[in-house]
Structure 1
Amino acid sequence: MVELVSERAGASPTPSTASWSADLTTRDGYMFHVRPASPADEAALGAFFEHVDKEDLRFRFLSAIHNVGDDQLRALVTVDHDHTENFLAFDPATDRIVATAMLAADESLVRAEVALAIRTDFKRRGISWTLLDHVAAFARAKGIATLESIESRDNHQAIDLERERGWIASACPGDPASMMLRMTLSA
């Protein structure tokens, strides 16, 4: 599970982070807008998680939760923008959040963990693939060498997605119910 570094609660995106806002197009032609989260997104992110399947919530947070609480939401939107970033994907027709991708790097910015969630009614449009590529490009630009994802062994969709994107799967040390997936980023 992605751990949050939230040293500067309420920090605004830095200019270099803000430059990672973009309009993206999936392989299927679906277009969406992505940008870093800000504290003003807390209520919209809460509404987003109400439309994420309960099983997908379990996969995202690696625990059985029925809703994402206020403290969790606050942590997802008050990231430090240095070691932690949370990208939000918006549907241009409704301006609603359709996906989120959290990146949390270690102190040395060598390794980072990534975790994605998508609205149930927006699955199978290629958003996860495209968003994961965007996060990988962001991590590469920050000099991060390795991306990691801890997945429940039951989360076949995420494991297959990551493997298709070149990630290598291995056993998760100390947790037989999970898998560790890694991607080495080239410069």
Structure 2
Amino acid sequence: MMPDETETLVTRTGFRFFLRPVSRRDEDMLVELFRQVSSDDLRFRFLSGERETSEQRFAQLLSDPAARVTSFLAFDEQRQVIASATLKGDAAGEHCEVAIMIRAASKGRGIGWTLLDYLVGYAENAGYTSLVSIEDRDNHASIALQRQMGFATEPVADEPTLVRVCRRLR
């Protein structure tokens, strides 16, 4: 997918949304999205208690091929941003970390499932051998969704509040 291309995705509930890569011009949209997520979702996304998202955090959400980061924005039919998704590969091109953020008012429509399914395929096509996320143990909905999609969980050494969720891709 090229930077200005948009892909149409449809959830199991029939909700249709659009996905495209993030670009530098999207910072205002990212700021607005992060204002419309719950404090728990923000904590789960960045594994911290910060409520405001810094410019440095937004910079991490931009696609950067040199850093093996690919980020996407999801839009509803009114072109409002409803979610963001980021893949960050390791230097060896073996493992890829995934993170998804969904606007609070857009939850419950199957967006998370559909985005994760898309990202699994994207990571497979990019040649990664595994897809990983580090989750707060309290993020039960995300962990359950990932388990339904074939991810396995394991503790994170010396971090009792975190769990590593992983899926082998090939």
TM-score tier after normalising by the smaller chain length = over 0.9
- The amino acid of 2:75's aligned partner reads F
Are 2:155 and 1:171 aligned?
yes
Is the Cα contact below 8 Å between 1:20 and 1:138 reproduced in 2? no
2:23 aligned partner, one-letter code: S
Cα deviations across residues 72-98 of structure 1 (Å, max 9, x unaligned)?
A: 113312x313511111111122x1110
Partner Cα separation in structure 1 for residue 118 and residue 52 of structure 2: 27
Q: Which residue of 1 aligns with 2:100?
A: 116
TM-score by length of 1: 0.86
Structure-2 separation of matches of 1:17 and 1:107:
22
How has the CA–CA distance of structure 1 residues 31 and 144 changed in structure 2, closer, same or farther, with 3 Å as cutoff? same
Q: Helix, strand or coil for the counterpart of 2:99? A: strand
Structure 2 residue 65 is matched with structure 1 residue 91:
no
Q: Which amino acid aligns with 2:90?
A: D
| TM-score, structure 2 normalization | 0.94
Distance 1:107 1:36 in 2: 21
Moved over 3 A (4+): 16-21
How many angstroms apart in 2 are the aligned matches of 1:149 and 1:74?
19
Partner of 1:55: 40
Q: Give 1:62 deviation, angstroms.
A: 0.2
* 1:34 alignment counterpart: 19
Which residue matches 1:7? none
Please tell me whether residue 73 in structure 1 is matched to residue 58 in structure 2. yes
TM-fit CA distance, 1:20: 7.2
TM-align CA RMSD: 1.4
| Contact kept? 2:95, 2:130, Cα under 8 Å | yes
Paired residue for 1:3? none
Letter in 2 for 1:81: P
**What SS does the aligned partner of 1:160 have?**
helix
Please say if 1:129 is aligned against 2:87: no
Q: Structure with the greater relative contact order (CA < 8 A, sep ≥ 6): 1 or 2?
A: 1
Provide the C-alpha distance between the structure 1 equivalents of 2:72 and 2:118, rounded to a whole number of angstroms: 9
Larger strand percent = 2
SS of residue matched to 2:160:
coil
Is contact 2:133–2:165 with CA below 8 Å preserved after alignment?
Answer: yes
Q: Supply the distance in 2 between the matched residues of 1:31 and 1:81 (Cα, whole angstroms).
A: 28
| Identical amino acids, percent of aligned pairs | 37
Structure 1 unaligned regions, length at least 5: 1-15
Distance in 2 (alpha carbons) for counterparts of 1:162 and 1:118: 15
Cα-to-partner distance string for 1:37-93 (whole Å, 9 max, x where unaligned) = 00000011100100000000000000001121222113312x313511111111122
